[in-house]
């Protein structure tokens, strides 16, 4: 996942952040429904499977803190 590695390097993500990002990117790239929700700003899917088994929204926010917005925006831009 070249995109994930690029974001990891640019934003100095640790291993857990990188793992969570890989899960997010993989799921968004495989599901047009999730991608549509993401594009609409609906991030509630983070509390659904498979994200819920990794801690859901709380884990993503806790692990990414202010970096989450940057990571999500970058992903959205690269998908257009």
Among 31, 66, 37, 76, which residue's Cα sits nearest to residue 45? 37
- Pair 20, 63: CB distance under 8 Å: yes
> Which pLDDT tens digits describe the chain residue by residue (80 residues)?
788 888 888 888 899 989 998 998 899 889 999 988 887 878 889 899 999 998 888 887 788 766 666 666 566 556 65
Judged by DSSP in three states, 41 sits in coil
Query: Model's pTM, two decimal places?
Result: 0.76
Residue-level pLDDT at 75 = 65
- Note whether 55 and 46 are within 8 A (CB): no
**pLDDT at 3 (0 to 100):** 81
**In this structure, is the dihedral angle defined by the CA atoms of residues 49, 55, 58 and 60, taken in order, positive or negative?**
negative
């Amino acid at each position: 996942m070249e995109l994930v590695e690029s974001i990891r390097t640019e934003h100095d993500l640790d291993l857990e952040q990188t793992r969570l990002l890989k899960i997010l990117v993989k799921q968004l790239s495989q599901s047009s429904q999730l991608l549509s929700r993401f594009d609409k700003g609906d991030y509630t899917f983070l509390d659904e499977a498979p994200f819920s088994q990794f801690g859901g929204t709380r884990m993503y926010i806790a692990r990414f803190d202010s970096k989450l917005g940057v990571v999500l925006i970058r992903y959205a831009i690269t998908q257009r």
